[in-house]
Structure 1
Amino acid sequence: MSMNTKSTPWKGSWIWGGPEESPRNEWRWFRTSFVCPPNLETMARAVLWITADSRYEVYVNGKRVGRGPVRYFSTDIFYDSHEIGHHLRRGELNTIAVQVMHFGVSNFQYLRERGGLLAQLDAFSGDNEITLAQTGADWLTSVHAGQDPAISRMSCQTGFAERIDGRKLAEDWTSSDYSDAQWGQAKVLGPVGMEPWVRLHPRDIPFLTEEPVLPARVISLNRVVPYPLTAFIDAYHLMKAPGEENANHIRFCGAFATILRLREEAQVKVMFHVGGLGIVRLGERLYKEEELEMEPPLAYIRATLPAGDHILFYTVYGPEHGHSNRVGVDADKEIAWISPLEKEFAETGERMSPFVRIGPSFTYSCFDYVDQDELFASWETEKIHFADRIAPLSSIEELRAIGCPVEPVPHSLANGEDAFMPQFAKRESEAYSVPANLQRIAVASADPGVVPVFEGGDTEFMLDFGKEWSGFLEFELEAEAGITVDWYGIEYRKDAYVQHTFGLDNTLRYVTREGVQRYASPVRRGFRYVIVTVRGAVKPVLIRDVRFVQSNYPAPEIGGFQCSDMKLNRIWDISKHTTKLCMEDTFVDCPSYEQAFWVGDSRNEALVNYYVFGGTEIVERCLRLVPGSEFQTPLYGDQVPSAWTSVIPNWTFFWIVACREYAEHTGNRAFAAEMLPKMLLTLGAYLERLNADDLLDMKGWNLLDWAPMDQPNDGIVTHQNVMLVKALEETAAIAHFAGLPERGTECAELVVRIKAAINRHLWSDERKAYLDCIHPGGRRSNIFSMQTQVMALLAGVAEGERYATLSTYLTDTPEGFVPIGSPFMSFFYYEMLMKSGNVQWMLDDMRDNFGFMLDNGATTCWEMYGHTTMNRANENDLTRSHCHAWSAAPGYFLGAYVLGVRPAAPGWAKVVIEPLHGDLSWASGTVPLPLGGCIEVAWKAENGEIASLVVTAAENTELDIRVPAACSIDIRRVRRLPELG
């Protein structure tokens, strides 16, 4: 029996607790206790099978033994198996405790269903087994009293930020000694196989790593004073209909209002971090959009207000995807805000925020790009009409008089417990030198770090963890009760500049109890720096331990690369580290902002992984997840599993390419045969969108690169048609590889037709290049881009004279052509450079573009290059994400082409060794093989040629070595061990 597969019957039932099926951001505790038989020593092992909706952490006798499950589509949920025999106490009382974190909202990793827990503990010895525990009505449950669910979303892609009240947190709730007498009985939902969790599957990848990382140093100390009033507002939830079942973005026409109360005249400053901000009213004055002070993404108004109550309202329109609105108010006198409906709800006892919602008067969900034009035009018209109607009004009574719906906003959806906005909404910030006793936080010392106390302000300091990491924050501190300690992760700083994570609430707010306390966050985060702010302390807080538990797919760092250029060595290193941090239970785009599995990104990430780590299970898992989005669209989603119904056609085409590459990389013909029907299904949906000229003509997110190309969301986009040709070719190839060549015949025929159509309709004889697109109605684009030419070359659409002409553009871009705009697009550019033998050009491009990142302190590869970014609002704002695996191309190309190690047969049974040296004098490194073992290569170059080569390989690996005849070759063979069971 595989210890990963539940081959014995499930006896446990799905359980939950509380009155709500799917409560918003609820952390719920479950416990059961049992006496372990004293003769269990004869049992070989004990396995706890477990899964939950949405995520869980499980403890046995107070010891955390695991977390999960991996991301899933609800109908096909995965379960985990934890071997826990060594944690059980024979003949004594044992306790299983589970913390389930239920999102209650959909995001880019999860589709909302109801909360649930399923678990079963079995002990095995030979053919004998007993069930020691199983989820059922005998389990007890309680809401996590210390976790505040009324907190903002981290981002639209993820779950929620974190607010923990240590005064309500029972640290020993996982132990057998804890009294759960006040807990309630769990509710049995139903048996295994119930909806929505119809099918259970064993976890299909290993558990992620957990590696403690300590901070390297404290790099700054400041006395800070935040704005007296700050709050988040979940506009997405409040303005959306029908609910949280999807994560599609919305456009709407609405407003929010509050009352500012002053006891005396004051200078007032209001800060907005709001998407789609329109007009603003403060008291008697109306501010139009052009009158706002702008420091993107922030906007401000200022006014002198007399004593009394003053309305503050603003219109907001979207597009909104789940990020919270934020409002902050500063004043030089005492100020408070209250709800305009405070009197109406004073006697109800219901907890309300200081805000009311006005509208929406119009809203629609943008779930795809089909038939949205009319809705968009209506929204644009309603924006003007809505603003004109409410602009003259200065009270809630006047708004109601004209029929505007005005509703109170619950505390759960808007409140001042937000830890994010105070990070940048500061009235004062004064720098101090870092004392030695605070610096102790960054060393493994028995002496605690001492956080100084400032009169009339809070204490803020910044921890540097040395490089970017991805995982879970833990800390231990000693404090008086009721002190607020805010933890805020960021990726980038430069001198005094801090790049705030706008669009990501990367905060944890912890309120202390008296004495020594420890907290381990279950919320995944990515950052390099942590800004810690201690608020309201009278006595110094002592910090005894801060650590970050780095967690990623357990891929050993087998691959290696070194050469005579230290800059290229550093570039390879940051490519490796970036890829590692973006390997979770799937590949993810980044460890901070999104943590989402973007399908197109993962094709390139898989290739880097093959050369650096050699991981295969994570690649297969990613590829298998994609067709699960068929119930949303047969075109397949561009990120999965996700509640945002979004399609980037090229991302689906890259998935097809990645399926063929994986099948041949591993030699897995069964995988090829299994995926072939899924590839044909989605291609069939795309082929239905061919026009009479045999060109793909469709609405969609027709993206390839973040660059000013002409790639409209409707029409005939050239690079998309080119990639359709490539996808058809790859499908025909995988059909042949699977032993089903007849299944690919139609694909091969379509390649000829569509390739001819592209060359007939999308080529410009005048510019000697492929135009970017043909717009609806037949208007031919006058924009030409390197992106389109590169993809036409790669897909083999350009042939003969056209191929020769476009090949010259790779190193001599014609004037006026849109240049490569992102490291992601550079991957395809490098592929074409290698096909044309331009290794020197590729090396110089890496030195320039990735070297710029290194010059600015990068420890991981950025989403954008920085010097090519389109965001010029701040010269320090070089890129949004500073760790993005779609940018890690050097990790692949330096191994595949500079070392020169590439597969020449399925499963790497035959390997080509063809080093390309450029201006390098030597290189060495290791490339892992998919079935185990590796290839080691070391070469030296003299007089412009490879002069010596040493190759170490397994005895049964066939080598095709391609070097000059005069090269000295030393082949060293090693024996291969058989696989152990």
Structure 2
Amino acid sequence: MINGKEWSAEWIWGGEEESPRNEWRCFRRSFALPEGSSGPAKLSISADSRYVLYVNGAQVGRGPVRSWPAEQFYDTYEVGHLLKPGETNTIAVLVIHFGVSNFYYIRGRGGLLAELLLESPEGVSVAAGTDAAWKTAKLAAQHPEAPRMSCQQGFAEVYDARQWDDGWAKPEYDDRGWGNADSVGQVGEGPWKSLIARDIPFLTEEKTVPERIESLRRVKAPAWTAAIDLRAAMVPDSVNHANHVQYAGYLAALLVVSEPGTVTVGFPGGPRTPNVWIDGKQLENGYGVRPERYYEVELERGEHLLLIDVSSTDHGAAYHVAADGTAKFELRSPLAANGGESADTPFLIVGPFDSAVNIDHQGIVPINREQPDFVRAKGIAAAGDLRQFAAWIRPLPAALYTEDDVFGAGVWQIEAEAYAVPRAFENAIIPSPEPAVLPQFAQGDCELVIDFGKERSGFIGFEVEAEAGTVIDLYGIEYLKGDYRQHTYGLDNTTRYICRGGRQSFLSPVRRGFRYLLFTVRNSDKPVKLYEVYVNQSNYPVTDAGKFECSDPLLGQIWEISRHTTRLCMEDTFVDCPAYEQVFWVGDARNEALVNYYVFGALDIVKRCLKLVPGSREMTPLYVDQVPSGWNSVIPNWTFFWVNACAEYVEHTGDTAFAAEIWPAARYTLEHYLQKIDERGLLYIKGWNLLDWAPIDQPRDGVVTHQNMFLTLALRNAVKLARTAGADAAAADSFLAAADALQAAINTHLWNAEKGAYLDCIHVDGRQSSIFSMQTQVVAVLCGAAQGERKAKLEGYLLHPPEGFVRIGSPFMSFFYYEALVQSGQHAHMLEDIRVNFGQMIEHGATTCWEMYPNFAQNRANPDQLTRSHCHAWSAAPGYFLGESILGVKRKSPGWSRAAIEPNPCGLKWARGAVPLPDGGLIEVDWRIDGSRMLLRVSAPESVELDIRIPEGLEGEVVRSTTIPLR
């Protein structure tokens, strides 16, 4: 049903392929609107994979929100104000179809569904609905062979504006050269079994300009760069899923040198193996900052066979290879040697000699690196040697290869020369009718590094005046310091725009996260005029309802970066980070939801996230760890955190209807986990048994202590859900009994008396872990596994970790650590840990919270790298704990009908702030200490019962005021 009536529109598509790789396809429908039509007009729309909607040339919106294929979401817009009665009106839609599965999309087929309903006194009529009368054309400017951004995401962009009329969405555009769309099914057919109305507000789109131009340089790119989708080339069926694959094989190409000299073969994103040969001789003494690798060789005139071992585990990111040197060279396919057949790309695939697919993250079948043909192929030294491997050889498809490799050209700069930034360049970042005229260099390209002041997430736009054929490369990074740039290895965060002649603008439809934008002009015959560059910031719509300030400015800064991080990681779901992944990781979202409650108070996004998770039950009853996704991966703790988050949402909102709705899904997965309890009464599971990136002992098979403990907590929280929902009491009682039995088994089998601590795990062979970690002890306190003397001992460890215990390695784990400290009453220790660890981020100029701490060596690709992701919401713990524990605002009953105000000054002289309530309104707190007296002011809705406590050791005065809700 749509707006109370059955859909009359059909799903449509165009072209020859059902699910083409990285295709941008345009659709149009013009219709006459009678004079006097002035009532409401609602346009409902969905697409596979993403759309941008225009009405009469005006952009209306983007979507849909991420969906399970069988439960496709659609959007509805009020567009009456854009329609023109008595004239021809046009609906235009750009559909971006990925054609590959990733971490936020499961491959379906190309499709568009749209229907415009007009309301009048006579009733509701259909003004336009998708059918075979719609016109369609592939957007010719967009290159489908552009690189994959990452295994988690879709594609980078290569856009040739010379090939397309950007007025295609306007009514006056002549679409007679377009074909008619194909009807591909009625509503309910195809992959999209049911349609669900959007369950969250539309995301923001706020134009945000840069703060400054950081630098101006003349740069020179390598003579040749290329990006290759090796995963799809080696294992073609892998486009249908996002699981790991493994393969053993090679790339082969002829390096044809026209004069003797030096050639450097480079791997800007890192090689898969160190095995690279030219004419059968392995290249050695490579150089470069990890993971980059470059090999310099002297070559004589003629043909030289380049052979690259690309054997690897592959999740889906682009493979970057490049070459430069004093010698003139080109790359050709070995097929073309000695007058052979031509090829679309210079590479041949040799292999794969072996391959395996990871189905459920329970381990990949190892590839056979001793496979005889694979070993023998290392001896290939000339094009003629390839004949003996004819059964293993095929051309690299053109669709999986591009020489428009912006990432490779941005990482490997052959030359770079800095210039002072002219003051006139401010015109490019401050809205002004006067452009910045960018310099031309005789040898090289013009690169600007543009600083947006803090991390941003959204859609990049710019306006320039340039000659046709001028190339503009955009590359977003998160961190730089001096000459050091932290390149986004594993993420091709780039766009290439090839200009048509004249003044023109471009707004990318691909979401990106970054702080610094490398804006490089190449192939320019005349100076380019840059009028503006900006990002349309796009996030879940929230206001800054929560507040926190205090007498320590550092804590105020830390709270602010926590707030900004959380906002940037609120899209159509919570996401882990706006740059590298943009993925809804289920376990991360539990902590993000708690921060959001205290900082923004948004509810619909939390509810949407929680309801998406059980959609993975068709993949596994244990539920996958990121949804909706083509990667069939299970982290048991992430499912347990989801159960806990469901209970916390019900407690926060008092939403008993949600408890009743979600309880069956929680019961279903927990019952399947309980089937994996072994004869000792412990959870014994083969999976991704993760909690922290630190080197704790958490094997993929066996008994892992921390997830046994988190299972007990999830079972107890499921009991709360069941009782709130008024569900079957017997089921709730059985879960309570299971939690008690599991806790007893943990204390019987997983406590080490000699160490006075819980061991990390028991391995498959029965061997007890020799590693003891603070992570396991923290979870034991938090989940209530430790009682009595054991609990007292572990609470001591929270303050003074024993020598040799693995320390906490991520801000994500710190969230649980802080929960345990608060539970133990150690607020001052928590506050000092925040100052030290998050203070390091502030010292390095952070505007958002990092994924890892800077001293976490296991995560560092090189000595200058402080963290992988510089914006990661699993790290935003201070946004919650400073309000909950230091300001002292705590929920005491479901729905906040009762709350406590229990400040913990911890040496602070004053603090003030606000916490948003689920039904609207705020609890505002302002406390100040003078000597031994505290003045505590509290404002809250009259409906909230407050328990107010002056901290022990202080005298004080409490002043309460009330707000009256609107009726």
The offset of 1:347, in angstroms, is 6.9
> Would you say the 8 A contact 1:161–1:505 is kept in 2?
yes
The equivalent residue for 2:348 is 356
The equivalent residue for 1:48 is 43
Task: Tell me whether 260-269 or 390-399 shows the greater mean CA deviation.
Answer: 390-399
Per-residue CA distance 1:801-849 (angstroms, 9 max, x = gap):
1001000001100000001110000000000111111111111111111
The offset of 1:893, in angstroms, is 0.3
> Would you say the 8 A contact 1:278–1:317 is kept in 2?
no
Pairing of 1:122-161 with structure 2 (within 5 A): 122-125=117-120, 128-161=123-156
The offset of 1:743, in angstroms, is 2.6
Indicate the SS of the match to 1:477.
strand
How far, CA to CA, are the matches of 1:433 and 1:119 in structure 2?
52
For the structure 1 residues 598 and 221, does the alpha-carbon distance in structure 2 shift closer, same or farther, using more than 3 Å as the test?
A: same
In structure 1, which of residues 944, 947, 950 is the aligned counterpart of residue 934 of structure 2? Answer: 947
The equivalent residue for 2:25 is 28
How far, CA to CA, are the matches of 1:781 and 1:293 in structure 2?
39
How far, CA to CA, are the matches of 1:74 and 1:548 in structure 2?
30
Q: Report the TM-score, using the length of structure 2 for normalisation.
A: 0.98
The offset of 1:171, in angstroms, is 1.4
2:533 paired with 1:541: no
The equivalent residue for 1:296 is 290
The equivalent residue for 1:785 is 773
Task: Tell me whether 402-411 or 604-613 shows the greater mean CA deviation.
Answer: 402-411
The offset of 1:387, in angstroms, is 5.1
The equivalent residue for 1:397 is 384
For the structure 1 residues 126 and 557, does the alpha-carbon distance in structure 2 shift closer, same or farther, using more than 3 Å as the test?
A: farther
- Identity of matched residues, %: 50
Task: Tell me whether 621-630 or 421-430 shows the greater mean CA deviation.
Answer: 421-430
How far, CA to CA, are the matches of 1:686 and 1:293 in structure 2?
49
The offset of 1:343, in angstroms, is 6.2
1:173 counterpart letter in structure 2: W
1:249 counterpart letter in structure 2: H
Pairing of 1:590-629 with structure 2 (within 5 A): 590-629=577-616
2:748 counterpart letter in structure 1: R
For the structure 1 residues 676 and 316, does the alpha-carbon distance in structure 2 shift closer, same or farther, using more than 3 Å as the test?
A: same
Pairing of 1:676-695 with structure 2 (within 5 A): 676-695=663-682
In structure 2, which of residues 844, 861, 871 is the aligned counterpart of residue 883 of structure 1? Answer: 871
The offset of 1:292, in angstroms, is 4.3
> Would you say the 8 A contact 1:239–1:252 is kept in 2?
yes
1:718 counterpart letter in structure 2: T
The equivalent residue for 2:188 is 193
How far, CA to CA, are the matches of 1:941 and 1:61 in structure 2?
61
For the structure 1 residues 939 and 5, does the alpha-carbon distance in structure 2 shift closer, same or farther, using more than 3 Å as the test?
A: farther
How far, CA to CA, are the matches of 1:407 and 1:475 in structure 2?
41
Pairing of 1:634-713 with structure 2 (within 5 A): 634-713=621-700
How far, CA to CA, are the matches of 1:264 and 1:70 in structure 2?
55
The offset of 1:210, in angstroms, is 0.7
Per-residue CA distance 1:880-904 (angstroms, 9 max, x = gap):
1000000000000001111111111
User: Could you list the runs of 5+ residues in structure 2 that have no partner in the other structure?
Assistant: none
> Would you say the 8 A contact 1:917–1:946 is kept in 2?
no
2:526 paired with 1:532: no
How far, CA to CA, are the matches of 1:148 and 1:391 in structure 2?
34
Pairing of 1:840-919 with structure 2 (within 5 A): 840-919=828-907
The equivalent residue for 2:798 is 810
Task: Tell me whether 324-333 or 71-80 shows the greater mean CA deviation.
Answer: 324-333
For the structure 1 residues 402 and 462, does the alpha-carbon distance in structure 2 shift closer, same or farther, using more than 3 Å as the test?
A: closer
The equivalent residue for 1:16 is 13
Q: Report the TM-score, using the length of structure 1 for normalisation.
A: 0.96
The equivalent residue for 1:476 is 463
The offset of 1:126, in angstroms, is 5.5
The equivalent residue for 1:463 is 450
How far, CA to CA, are the matches of 1:973 and 1:68 in structure 2?
41
The equivalent residue for 1:365 is 357
How far, CA to CA, are the matches of 1:332 and 1:470 in structure 2?
41
For the structure 1 residues 275 and 206, does the alpha-carbon distance in structure 2 shift closer, same or farther, using more than 3 Å as the test?
A: farther
> Would you say the 8 A contact 1:49–1:119 is kept in 2?
yes
How far, CA to CA, are the matches of 2:652 and 2:3 in structure 1?
30
2:207 paired with 1:219: no
2:14 counterpart letter in structure 1: G
The equivalent residue for 1:922 is 910
> Would you say the 8 A contact 2:279–2:382 is kept in 1?
no
For the structure 1 residues 344 and 363, does the alpha-carbon distance in structure 2 shift closer, same or farther, using more than 3 Å as the test?
A: farther
1:316 counterpart letter in structure 2: V
Indicate the SS of the match to 2:574.
coil
The equivalent residue for 1:565 is 552
2:121 paired with 1:121: no
How far, CA to CA, are the matches of 1:363 and 1:214 in structure 2?
47
1:963 counterpart letter in structure 2: I
How far, CA to CA, are the matches of 1:343 and 1:82 in structure 2?
58
1:783 counterpart letter in structure 2: I
> Would you say the 8 A contact 2:233–2:397 is kept in 1?
no
The equivalent residue for 2:718 is 731
The offset of 1:649, in angstroms, is 0.4
Indicate the SS of the match to 1:354.
coil
The equivalent residue for 1:276 is 272
How far, CA to CA, are the matches of 2:816 and 2:230 in structure 1?
39
The equivalent residue for 1:974 is 963
How far, CA to CA, are the matches of 2:709 and 2:963 in structure 1?
44
The offset of 1:386, in angstroms, is 5.3
In structure 2, which of residues 26, 35, 57 is the aligned counterpart of residue 38 of structure 1? Answer: 35
How far, CA to CA, are the matches of 2:327 and 2:711 in structure 1?
64
> Would you say the 8 A contact 2:601–2:917 is kept in 1?
yes
The equivalent residue for 1:247 is 242
Per-residue CA distance 1:862-921 (angstroms, 9 max, x = gap):
001112342455332010100000000000000111111111111111111111110101
2:106 paired with 1:111: yes
2:288 paired with 1:261: no
The equivalent residue for 1:86 is 81
How far, CA to CA, are the matches of 2:502 and 2:321 in structure 1?
34
1:362 counterpart letter in structure 2: D
Indicate the SS of the match to 2:351.
strand
How far, CA to CA, are the matches of 2:140 and 2:514 in structure 1?
28
In structure 2, which of residues 740, 745, 762 is the aligned counterpart of residue 774 of structure 1? Answer: 762
2:618 paired with 1:631: yes
How far, CA to CA, are the matches of 2:307 and 2:345 in structure 1?
14
2:815 paired with 1:827: yes
| C-alpha RMSD of the superposition | 1.5
Indicate the SS of the match to 1:9.
coil
1:423 counterpart letter in structure 2: G
> Would you say the 8 A contact 1:6–1:202 is kept in 2?
no
Pairing of 1:379-458 with structure 2 (within 5 A): 379-382=368-371, 385=372, 388-402=375-389, 405-458=392-445
The offset of 1:501, in angstroms, is 0.5
* Matched length: 963
2:681 counterpart letter in structure 1: D
How far, CA to CA, are the matches of 1:241 and 1:18 in structure 2?
21
For the structure 1 residues 562 and 117, does the alpha-carbon distance in structure 2 shift closer, same or farther, using more than 3 Å as the test?
A: same
The offset of 1:344, in angstroms, is 9.7
For the structure 1 residues 388 and 380, does the alpha-carbon distance in structure 2 shift closer, same or farther, using more than 3 Å as the test?
A: closer
How far, CA to CA, are the matches of 2:482 and 2:2 in structure 1?
52
1:791 counterpart letter in structure 2: V
